[in-house]
Amino acid sequence: MNTLDRRQWLKTIGITGTFALLSGPEAWAIESEPIQVASQGLIILSYNENPYGPSKNVRNAMQKAFDNGHRYPFAFVQELLDSIAKKEGVSKEHIVLTGGSTEGLKATGLTFSLNGGEIIAADPTYQSMLHYAEGFGAYVHRVAVNDKLEHDLEAMDRRITSKTRLVFICNPNNPTGTIIEKNLLKDFCHSVSKKTIVFSDEAYYDFITEPDYPSMVELVKENANVVVSKTFSKVYGLAGLRIGYLIARPDIASRIRKNVMAMTNVLAIAAAKEALKDDAFYKFSIAKNLECKKHIYSILDSLQLPYISSHTNFVFFKSGRPIQTLNQQMLQQNVQIGRPFPPMLNWARISTGKVEDVQLFCKALKTIMS
């Protein structure tokens, strides 16, 4: 499903439309073969995974790909690059295929901040690029989010110096689930890209419910100094296969590509190609996510616990107690939730898993907070 179709579809769906989407033969076919996670009974709602994937179509494609397991992946990658390029509206030269978007983040951080280069990022935010770059001598300026837990763009802009090699934007942000107002986002990225590289991590872009919300791929098409990361780990349910990609101007893409190490594999390539075609599973995943967030919001409202309305597949809420304590209490109820996110150590992140697992989380949280 292309971006325009996704936006139009999101205009017509809300929480109230979830159950209508989940009826009918397509939904039944997907649910008829649930994926069983080997968790020894522990309900895992900590990693923002899509527990309904891979879809049946994707699994079939992977099984066929086993016959190519003795071949190197570069022999099969061109068709996937063609599909991604078509989806994003760019050429294949704009695409850097990576082992999950995490490898793309790390390769970019290494490319632009080696040996003392500076990176500016929100705090808290996703740390993969930042920690990796620090290990190679980069200096990270962490700028606290504002009182709405959104990126403080003005403060981030003020931190830019001649040593700044990259400004990192995680949008929607992990762990807060917030998005940047779309006009502010475009203005900020356009302005900052004239000074340095802007990296827009869009791992959760598919879950945004605001109509006509832009991807910063728009600026890549304008030849700006912008890099965008995407992943097959979230809405497509392929986290365990490790495949993602970057979109950047060809000269920037070429520089980053030299620092990609693990790359991906034949099974992941086959899975990703099929996932891009599986529109029914895409819609199913988004609908289930909306349904789960409705349950989470309901229990948090009933317990009067503050939370951020999320544009992702997780919810960030204020528990009012140290996260280490809450984590242990939840584990005693057989539920695993997100790790600590300094400096917000009395806030918790809960992923949207299967509906029945989220319902058990709600029951456990009520028990703990009562």
- 270 vs 64: CA distance, rounded Å: 9
Instruction: Check pLDDT > 60 for residue 118.
Output: yes
Q: What local confidence, expressed as pLDDT, does residue 262 receive?
A: 83
pLDDT at 235 over 50: yes
* pLDDT > 90? residue 13: no
User: Residue 34: its pLDDT value, please?
Assistant: 37
Q: Taking all residues of the chain, what is their mean pLDDT, rounded to a whole number?
A: 91
The whole-number average pLDDT for the span 302-315 is 97
> 0.85 cut: is pTM over it?
yes
Rounded average pLDDT over 111-121? 93
Which pLDDT value is given to residue 40? 53
User: Is residue 5 predicted with pLDDT exceeding 70?
Assistant: no
Q: Which domains does the chain have, with CATH numbers?
A: 3-55+278-369 (3.90.1150.10), 59-275 (3.40.640.10)
Instruction: Dump pLDDT digits (tens) for 255-295.
Output: 999 999 988 999 999 999 999 999 999 999 999 999 999 99
Structure tokens belonging to residue 29 = 């076919």
Question: Residue 35: is its pLDDT beyond 50?
Answer: no
Q: Which residue has the higher pLDDT, 9 or 261?
A: 261
